[in-house]
Amino acid sequence: MLDRLKSKLPILAVAGVIVFLITLIFEANRQPAFQIDSGANRPAALALLSELEQIRPDTPGDVRLEQWADRAERTPEIVRADVYAADGRVVHFPSKKGPSALLPGKGPSNIKDMVSSDVFGALDALADGDLRDDQKTLLLAAFAIRAEGEHNDIYRHLVRPVRNQAGEIVAVAGIAYAIGKPASGQSGTALWLIRGLAMVLGFAVYLLSLAAWVLLDAKGRERHPWLWAGFVLVGQFIGLLVYLLIRKNGPAEREA
């Protein structure tokens, strides 16, 4: 019976390592849902920006702009909404505790504090009059909302001018929205758990099969079976190779 089990253990080890490697390769090449730009969230961002055309504030301090920014940040697809006055003053900036208008001493007070010196170097390279001040603010807003940088691979950004009734730019609004959403709910969690369990079980079957084979083989050869089994558990495939090299020069297996 032990001989039959011993003959099956290498097959189990190979099966375990195949399951482990297939699961590992699948996980390594699987792109998370939140990194896939399906375009599904862009309409929500564009719809919010189109609302600005209906507001037509007289000043950047219009309370309706603050309300718009708070509403935007409460939209599931939106991760950030900024509002800047045409002269660069920050009108609305997201706080760490959630959507809120800028309070004294909280966050940057001017858009110039949010962009790198390289941006100003590029603007200085232009001739005077090439860009109006409001156009410069529009460019600075685009750089400012992307300045965080760390999540630019999973966020997209939109910047639009805010005009008054006369068509003059009084403010600039920017939005950062998520390009996708992670798998959620019980089905997404269950799939993740199944893949993780398959990987763990595959590796466990591989490792335990190696150790069990060495244990049975070393016991038949009176070669300190438990010591070698433990050595293979720690050293894994390298431990098995060491055992096989020593096994060559050891005594033959006892007849059952």
Tokens linked to 104: 């004294």
Domains and CATH numbers, the chain: 2-30+184-248 (no CATH), 33-178 (3.30.450)
* pLDDT tens track for 22-64: 888 877 766 555 566 677 888 989 999 998 888 999 999 899 9
Predicted local confidence at residue 252, as pLDDT: 53
* pLDDT tens track for 100-125: 333 344 567 888 888 888 888 888 89
Q: Rounded distance, CA 44 to CA 129, Å?
A: 36
Q: Rounded distance, CA 250 to CA 245, Å?
A: 9
pLDDT at residue 185 above 50?
no
Tokens linked to 174: 């920017």
Asked if 253 and 220 touch (Cβ cutoff 8 Å), the reply is yes
Which pTM does this prediction carry?
Answer: 0.56
* pLDDT tens track for 204-244: 999 999 888 888 888 877 778 888 888 888 888 888 888 88
